[in-house]
Amino acid sequence: MERRKTRGKFIALEGPDGTGKSTQALLLASFLKGMGIEAKVTREPYDPGILKALAKSESKEASCLLFAADRAIHSQKIERLLEEGFWVISDRFIDSSLAYQAGGWGMDLEKVEEINAFATSLRPDLTLIFSCPPAVCARRMQRRGKESGFDSDFLLQKKVGCLYGVLTRRGGERKIVDASQDPLKVEARVRREVKRKWRLKKR
């Protein structure tokens, strides 16, 4: 008889642009592998076709729906991996739409939540929200050669950060990570949160 694997865990990393989530996602995956846990890293926006449509979109409403459609497709992939027993680390998930579309663009928070609830019922077991002052993020992105530092972008990231703050205060499975510290400290904090939540010991 085939042995059924235990379902994996789903961890989402969230935060404004330039908070270092992508690097920490890879570091967390290798930490988990070291603990004997098979982990997969994924990211949103996910689907290449939707990414193209997003690049062409000139309407905030269309973009909001495209992010949600992307998430619907992405969730199916994540579900399959979780069923196979993998732990999944996603660089962005629903909270990104709440922070950017509602917080950043000023769309109605409840509506954005509704659209996303229609797109997927999947929710992370743990969300780590990377928090960092916008000026620090802007400097990091400039160093990486990414456009930032313009007033509008700076303001947008500020609003995004504020909405992430609101989400953090809602609590639940969300934890805040101070991403302004040096990467080693951030890595240690991420590990601590994950170890604490699942009482991880080396397998």
List residues binding ligand TYD (CB under 6 A): 17, 44-45, 67, 92, 96-97, 100-101
In the complex, least distance from residue 28 CB atom to ligand TYD, rounded to whole angstroms: 16
Closer to ligand TYD at the Cβ: 37 or 126?
Answer: 126
Strands 10-14 and 174-178: unpaired
What is the arrangement of strands in the sheet containing 174-178, beginning at the earlier edge strand? 39-43, 87-91, 10-14, 126-131, 174-178
Q: How far apart are CA 116 and CA 95, in angstroms?
A: 10
Residue of minimal Cβ distance to ligand TYD? 100
Tokens of 104: 């950043």
In the complex, least distance from residue 200 CB atom to ligand TYD, rounded to whole angstroms: 27
Closer to ligand TYD at the Cβ: 45 or 149?
Answer: 45
In the complex, least distance from residue 4 CB atom to ligand TYD, rounded to whole angstroms: 32
Neighbouring residues of 62: CB distance < 8 A, sequence distance ≥ 6: none
Closer to ligand TYD at the Cβ: 17 or 47?
Answer: 17
Cα of 159 vs its chain's centroid, Å: 17
In the complex, least distance from residue 12 CB atom to ligand TYD, rounded to whole angstroms: 10
Q: How far apart are CA 42 and CA 119, in angstroms?
A: 18
Closer to ligand TYD at the Cβ: 17 or 187?
Answer: 17
